[in-house]
Amino acid sequence: MIRLLVLYGHPKDPAAFDRYYDEIHIPLAKQLRGLKKWTIGKVTGTPDAQPSPYYYVADLYAESREAMDAILATPEGQAAVKDVPNYATGGVTFVYTEVEDVI
């Protein structure tokens, strides 16, 4: 399984980020077909109580890198990717990871 981890930096206007993400981006991204799992979450802190460099994270899962690439190459995938600059004013990092269940 492959995971596309999306790490969002702190936006200039957190309320605007939250509103846009909830009202525009999520409905747009829900049109993607083929994902095995999708999770999102607002960063609440770090174990050592230090400020996090990230405001929000999203995890998208697919069977393989090829499957993820195919999902993102669709018109719906391209629309979701092209939408990111509309709200990610704190920057965004995309990271692929191979996922192995341990427990």
Q: Domain ranges in the chain?
A: 11-98
Give the tens place of pLDDT for each residue, 11-68: 999 999 999 999 999 999 999 999 999 999 999 999 999 889 999 999 999 999 999 9
Residue 90 DSSP symbol? T
Q: What is the pLDDT of residues 50-66, one digit of tens each?
A: 889 999 999 999 999 99
Distances (CA, A) of 38 to 30, 41, 47, 57, 61: 9, 10, 24, 11, 6
Q: What is the pLDDT of residue 92?
A: 98
Give the per-residue pLDDT at 101. Answer: 87
The pTM of the full predicted model, rounded to 2 decimals, is 0.92
Q: Which two tokens stand for residue 41?
A: 């979450």
- CATH class, domain 11-98, is alpha beta
